[in-house]
Structure 1
């Protein structure tokens, strides 16, 4: 029976068993992230968290994911990506169980850090393995299906998370992760054949990993502490450490990140910068709107989740088609159009007010979802198609790093604006004006960033001849 299932999981150019595993992984982590965002006000009430502490519930996960993604991607190249993927799903599942028993904000944030480490092990390997076993002519289709699963996770997160929070409490969100994680582990053990250790025998750059992780930690702490002096100091230290890391990587025989690829491969460099800016200008949308809908508009978590689900549902509908389209049309053209549509949506969000129609907000979210669909799959296809097969692990890890750095940057900007406008105080109904100002400023900043991203998306060059 097992042999029959394995043999049946094949279609021309794509390993269906590998695609199913990648799809499940693609669903799990964004589902958790978006579901937690909708539960943030409830979590804040239970643990009496101020605005900055609350933002760390999301930021701790992102920080750990970003700090460990590249190191674990490299470890996977050396010792086998299947081992790292399996370990990541196990760690993510166990930490989700730990979240259920969190009795304090410190325990909560600590388990979120551990969960982020598990997510980093998943991020850096799933796409690389999928790309390795898929023929180039079907790569955009496979990556489009994978991206669709990510957006389905984002879609289900707010809606299911809102329902679970209302009916069973916020801890039930993490309970859902456990059976999904167990299912993925079983699929990996039974159906994922191979290790894909393309850099077997090479040395791991431990010094680079420590400096890289320290730089990201300092930058994130700096964003959360600005405008205090300590915040500027931490931010400056993080930038210095990042510059030191880049300098050392140029001289390392077996670097953690092949910095030279950014210098010699224009498509790779510009596509990654476009991804960084895209996630940097959009990730905090859900964070801001979750606070807006529940604190300013008075919706409960389930109602807010139903509204926010508009964006990822549209993404899920169009992502697979956009990925397949990028197998025939130059990815840069499609993703640049997507970035332009996102910019229009962000400008519209910067004019939100307490009286904005809910229908109009959902229209804006639908526009953003369509833009995301056109950008993400083709941009991923461009990055993975711009490098040789032996660099798939590095390319996948770099793309994942850009995504997480962008998400960190987005939350960092949001935290900084909240720190300046709202301050380190508990969020209450009488903070409506301050929250509204912070949100409007945030969306204006993100709009400018997105317009800059259009430039990098357009000038990257081609990966194929039309």
Structure 2
């Protein structure tokens, strides 16, 4: 009975925490026009409000995953919730765009600690034959957060103001902290206790990631190209270092010797790179081009995550019984179709057309995500659960940052550093069309990555 209580408590706590961060992300996306209006922010700086959060989360995911394996997942998870809660409060009080971006960086650090430990705690608490169902429930909570984010975010932004979105996270964060100390006070997971932490590798990894993402967002400027080259060289040095030491922050042999792990992570990276900016782009389209309020735009955007929340638990349960590769590949194909639907969007596009595209995307992503995640976590030994969870989170976060980076690059080339006013609407529509074409091509390649694993 005690073990069952621990399983259910771990699932409850990790699931609540997994709800908070996507809710925060999707609700802030819908509030971006209101933030831009208050601070008179240009399009490029505005896009750094979600990007700074994602980039910081990606930077720290792998190091904190390793720290969790060594010192305990519950410790890292609890510290992450505390940091996330404090950062949310500070973000609500931000006096400027730059201050808000700074507080979002701190929020990203806390989120990284939550991301990498939540899934690992569930994987550690549940036996393999129950793991897919538990992961499906956890991922469904993520999509529920995505579902409620645009709707509640739109309502809150419209009636109370965008700052209330950040204030809302504070009581939820405090609730999770109380539950951890109440339900899991005697529980801890540390499969690599006593091993050394690879600080040089962590610094090189984080620096390389920042250089690549910063460079990508600065293209076509010469400094952007230089930053990407420097970042790639650092990544190569990181791989060489990790292969040569006894306790690496990221065991690279998992990628070279584990086909299922490598291709499942590649598929996840491609999928998130092609899908994350969808809400950002459609939020701007619906509010600027279509003239909808934040509230009404959120009601339309809810179609995609609702389908995700419905499909994901069933897909996770089925992946315990059947080959997840086929299910995930079908999901990737549907996502490609959904992206192509938006590649021809225009000022005259009907709301019904947009909702159909969002439904197709939601079904595809629901079929892909939990089977793919179950395949990753089930392909490694228990001692690698923290690192594998961190890798899942890193693929998601890096993919999300790349997705925003692609959108930022197209915006920089076609719109420039100006506020989005009616004169820029034709360029905004063209930017959205080009971005969706790029995303569709990426996702089409992801179908083959998904099928390539055994």
The normalised TM-score by structure 1 is 0.96
The answer on 1:205 being equivalent to 2:201 is no
Q: Give the 3 Å change call, closer, same or farther, for CA 313–9 of structure 1 in structure 2.
A: farther
Please name the residue that 2:129 is paired with. 137
The 8 Å contact of residues 87 and 107 in structure 2, kept in 1 or not, is answered as yes
Question: Equivalences for 1:322-341 in 2 at 5 Å?
Answer: 322-341=315-334
**How far does residue 8 in structure 1 lie from its aligned partner after superposition?**
8.4
> In the aligned structure 2, how far is the partner of 1:385 from the partner of 1:401?
17
Q: Which residue, 379, 382, 390 being the options, matches 1:397?
A: 390
Counterpart CA distance in 1 for 2:344 and 2:271 is 20
2:431 to 429, 438, 458: 438
Query: Within 1, Cα distance between the matches of 2:72 and 2:3?
Result: 23
Q: State how far apart, in whole Å, the 2-side matches of 1:425 and 1:206 are.
A: 41
Asked if residue 181 in structure 1 is aligned to residue 181 in structure 2, the reply is no
Structure 1 contact 211–241 (Cα < 8 Å) conserved: yes
Q: Distance in 1 between matches of 2:172 and 2:437?
A: 38
Paired with 1:433 and 1:236, the residues of 2 have a C-alpha distance of: 34
Contact 1:52 1:224 in 2 (8 A): no
Match of 2:225 among 221, 226, 232: 232
Q: CA RMSD in A?
A: 1.2
1:159 aligns with: 151
Q: Deviations over 1:160-189 (max 9, x none)?
A: 000000001100000110111011111111
Equivalence for 1:359: 352
Note if 1:78 corresponds to 2:56.
Answer: no
**Structure 1 stretch displaced more, 210-219 or 55-64:** 210-219
Equivalents in 2 of 1:274, 1:165: separation in Å? Answer: 35
Q: Distance in 2 between matches of 1:41 and 1:355?
A: 21
- TM-score, normalisation: structure 2: 0.98
Equivalent position to 2:50, from 52, 55, 58: 58
Aligned to 1:33: 25
Counterpart of 1:17? Answer: 9
Question: Are 1:418 and 2:411 an aligned pair?
Answer: yes
Q: Does 1:318 align with 2:311?
A: yes
In the other structure, the counterpart of 1:464 is none
Alignment gaps of 5+ in structure 1: 1-6, 462-466
CA drift at 1:10: 3.2
Counterpart secondary structure, 1:34: helix
Give the alignment of 1:93-172 within 5 angstroms: 93-172=85-164
Does residue 379 in structure 1 map to residue 379 in structure 2? Answer: no
Q: Tell me if structure 1 keeps the 8 A contact 2:191–2:382.
A: no
CA–CA separation in structure 2 for the residues paired with 1:418 and 1:9: 52
Q: Is contact 2:42-2:420 (8 Å) kept?
A: yes
The answer to whether the 8 A contact 2:69-2:383 is kept is no
- The one-character-per-residue Cα deviations of 1:49-103 (angstroms, maximum 9, x if unpaired) are 1111011001000010000111111111111110000000000000000011100
Residue ranges of structure 2 left out of the alignment (5+ in a row): none
Q: Secondary structure at the match of 2:292?
A: coil
The 8 Å contact of residues 212 and 228 in structure 2, kept in 1 or not, is answered as yes
The CA deviation string for residues 331-380 of structure 1, in whole angstroms up to 9 with x for no partner, is: 11111110010000001110111111101101110110001110001001
